[in-house]
Amino acid sequence: MGSGTEWRDLTLFWGLMLGLILRPATAEICGPSIDIGNDISEFRRLENCTVVEGYLQILLIGDKNNNNINQEFFRHLSFPKLTMVTDYLLLFRVSGLDSLSTLFPNLAVIRGRNLFYNYALVIFEMTSLKDIGLYNLRNITRGAIRIEKNPELCYLDSVDWSLILDAEFNNYIAGNKQSKECSDVCPGIMENNPQCKKTMFNNNYNYRCWNSNHCQKGKLPVRLTRWGIRSVGIWEGSERLQLWPDTCHCGGFRC
């Protein structure tokens, strides 16, 4: 029985990977809101998404019995086109996912237009997560963060949330791996050639990074337009407003 289940999961994994590799090179605004849960095949819903208009929830995927299969799956799964979620991003009990750096390498903005109990980013009971890894996340426009009960999660003290949020006093970070048990080393430290910037956050002046491979970037300059934040790549009419070189949103989206 166990081997049959494992074979089915492997077949599903490689079938999904083939579909993602062969997906057309188009960009889409997806929504309203996306729930990905219970079945890894649900990730197909994010194919070609540049903006999720609404919330993005990823939850209740896998268990201890198929953790290794999930790790292999997430190691190859990536949605580099996704740059914005207009409401909130929530992750809950996703087995085998140890970082978001491959999954969402270009996610830059979480608007927080509608929140999950006042939170724009929720990471809860992610038993495999070792670092958040959202190294292009530059702006959470509205709402706080809640990062709780992630027993393996490190690189929390190395992130300066004031570079991303306008206010940090409502953030809730608790029940994660203790700082003294983590070995948070920012890029270049081991080679005595630090690559990341230092900032003061929570009375701690230190290098800022998401993990050992990616420094935290500086705060985006914010300039408002009629339809939203000009500096984070919103379209205004027919004008394409870029996030930064080679990363922009598809046309027609209005905040």
Q: What pLDDT sits at residue 15?
A: 52
The contacts of residue 254 (CB under 8 Å, 6+ apart) are 227, 228, 234, 235
Cis peptide before 80 (omega within 30 of 0): no
What's the total number of domains in the chain?
1
| Cβ burial 134-148 (10 Å sphere, 16+ → b, else e) | bbbbbbbbbbbbbbb
| CA pair distance 196, 125, nearest whole angstrom | 29
DSSP annotation string for 79-136: -TT--EESS-EEEEEETT---STTTSTT--EE--SS-BTTEEEEEE--TT------TT
Give 42-101 pLDDT, tens digit per residue: 998 999 999 999 999 999 997 666 666 688 889 889 999 999 999 999 999 999 999 999
Residue 247 lies inside a defined structural domain of this protein: no
Q: Return the half-sphere exposure (C-beta side, CA atoms, 13 A cut-off) of residue 181.
A: 8
Per DSSP, the three-state class of 46 is: helix
The contacts of residue 48 (CB under 8 Å, 6+ apart) are 23, 24, 26, 27, 28, 81
The contacts of residue 225 (CB under 8 Å, 6+ apart) are 234, 236, 241
The predicted model scores a pTM of 0.78
The range of the structural domain enclosing residue 91 comes to 2-220
Mean pLDDT for 142-150 is 97
The CATH number of residue 86's host domain is: 3.80.20.20
Terminal alpha carbon distance of the chain = 50
Q: What pLDDT sits at residue 214?
A: 97
The tokens describing 170, both together, are 């409502």
Beta bridge partner(s), residue 123: 91, 147
* pLDDT above 90 (res 187): yes
Per DSSP, the three-state class of 51 is: strand
Residue 166 lies inside a defined structural domain of this protein: yes
In the chain, the percentage of residues whose pLDDT exceeds 70 is: 73
Give 1-58 pLDDT, tens digit per residue: 455 555 555 555 555 555 544 444 556 899 899 999 988 889 989 999 999 999 999 9
Helices 2-21 and 67-76, packing angle to 10 deg: 10
Residue 246 lies inside a defined structural domain of this protein: no
The tokens describing 26, both together, are 């188009």
Residue 73 lies inside a defined structural domain of this protein: yes
* pLDDT above 90 (res 141): yes
Residue 254 lies inside a defined structural domain of this protein: no
Q: What is the DSSP letter of 4?
A: H
Continuous H helices in the chain: 2-21, 67-76
| pLDDT classification of 111: cutoffs 50, 70, 90 | very high
Residue 225 lies inside a defined structural domain of this protein: no
| CA pair distance 78, 106, nearest whole angstrom | 10
Residue 242 lies inside a defined structural domain of this protein: no
